[in-house]
Structure 1
Amino acid sequence: MPYTGEVTRGGPPAVRDLGALTITKVSVGPMDNNAYLLRSGDEQLLIDAANDAGTLIALAGDAGLATVVTTHRHADHWQALEEVVAATGAESLAHIEDAAEIPLVNRDLRDGEHITVGPATLEVIHLVGHTPGSIALLYQDPDGPPHLFTGDSLFPGGVGNTRKNKANFESLITDVEQKLFNRLPDKTWFYPGHGNDSTLGAERPHLPEWRARGW
């Protein structure tokens, strides 16, 4: 089946093979959070152990997990974290500004830092506004366009919820514009914390509209 990025809780995962990196997307929990299992070489990394620990542990399988990265502090993104780490021995990573609100963080992350999964590398991009320590993870595919895991900072149709806080919205929309849209090409595929994927090119024309509406 061609990859579409459309998943439902309890349904089959969506798998995308980039050659050097394989991405497996599943939906978990009552809030339909997306979790992403990345495999490169003999290592695996999980983005957001959000819920349904049994599903995520089974997804990792015998290969296990080297790392779990939590994109931000909101509890719907780490409900399964402790159980997954206990079962796999994975190292748990989160941005330093959110780490204190997330159980079982072994290593703090900072903007511009790199995380490895086998021979593949992910760049940490700090996006302030949805939470103080929200991050996106960027994979620069050597054989194709970039791939970006945005947590709850960027979705098809807008940036993440800033709860009508004008300062937080201004921070987030500016970070998203400058660190993502101004840097990366239209073909960049992004994978959000909930719902379907999109590309920066599909969303770029709507940036002025998002800023004008204030959310």
Structure 2
Amino acid sequence: MPRAGLTPQVVVHEAARLADEVGYDRLTLAALANRLGVALPSLYKHVRGADALAQKLSALATAELAEEMTTAAAGRSGEDALRAVAAAYRSYARRHPGRYLSAQRVPDPADPAHLAAGQRAVGVVYAILRGYGIDGDAAVDAVRMFRAAVHGFVSLEATGDFGLPRAVDHSFDQMVAALGVAFRSWPTTALSGTG
């Protein structure tokens, strides 16, 4: 018999907390069952397996990250919005390291809520870029640049790879300022290249 009060939502939220505490790579169904005080087979009443749990956790984390980015952008534009959204992205990754890693999973096409959360997060960056006059295919390139820069920074920061004697916060601010410079001078004509 399932534990009273245990639902798929409770399981996923507890998995999120556990991933933040022990690391996403150490999140297992056995560890989660132990945390919830149930036998491992009992979890299968709430999630179909490890991959299904990972997908549900990714959907939750993507929605949370999108919400924080949207809130940070509200009422802002231009560089102010860029700084606020980048800071919110970094803050989420620092506060929720396990969830953040799970959010890097490609949304499941069969999960409309996961797809919507991913589109909402990307939509915040697209809105900022429109303020710089960047749209269409150029905006796709700029979104990729934003994500590569900020994700790369927070990933390196999380693994302690910034060992040089310089304040990491200052380096982050400089990177975001450089993104602003790049977006202000974004090429108006397509560069040659493929893919």
Q: Give the TM-score taking structure 1 as reference length.
A: 0.25
Q: Give the TM-score taking structure 2 as reference length.
A: 0.26
Q: Which has the higher helix share?
A: 2
